Amino acid sequence: MTAEQLDAHSLLRMVYLDPEQPIEVRIDAAKAAIGYELPKLNAIDARIDTVSRPEGAADLVFRERQLLGRTFRGLGLPSPKVIEADEVIVSDGAVVDGT
């Protein structure tokens, strides 16, 4: 296939992959082609709930349950089922009342 028969992206690829071309030409072709080869990285909205005071494990569990419920509602899903326990042992070894 000749260069005249290629679409624009294929021509750019042919140029930047050709070791016979000067590096400057290859770099320019790669710059022009990259937007069609890889998706652009976009910023995402990351919401972080701030805590103004240290919180215990029970507070953390309560806050995470609220966040999970909001997330499910936002997605139009039914509320998640909560598994109740008499007590829960968390990673720091503390025992939390599960009720």
Residue 85 has pLDDT above 80, yes or no: no
- For residue range 9-19, list pLDDT tens digits in order: 889 999 999 99
Q: What is the mean pLDDT of the chain?
A: 79
Residue 1 is predicted with a pLDDT of: 63
- Whether residue 13 lies inside any domain: the answer is yes
- Whether residue 44 lies inside any domain: the answer is no
Structural domain harbouring 76: 57-97
In the chain, what percentage of residues exceed pLDDT 70? 71
Q: Single out the residue of 30, 37, 96 nearest to residue 61, CA to CA.
A: 96
- Whether residue 88 lies inside any domain: the answer is yes
Residue 88 has pLDDT above 70, yes or no: no
Give the predicted TM-score (pTM) of the model: 0.39
Kindly give the interhelix angle for 8-16 and 23-37, rounded to the nearest 10 degrees. Answer: 140
- Whether residue 81 lies inside any domain: the answer is yes
Give how many domains the chain has, as a whole number. Answer: 2
Q: What is the dihedral of CA 88, 91, 94, 99, to 10 degrees?
A: -20
Mean pLDDT, to the nearest integer, of 57-61?
79
- Whether residue 47 lies inside any domain: the answer is no
**Residues 93, 61 within the same domain:** yes
- Whether residue 50 lies inside any domain: the answer is no
Q: Which residues contact 99 (CB under 8 A, 6 or more apart)?
A: 84, 86
- Whether residue 49 lies inside any domain: the answer is no
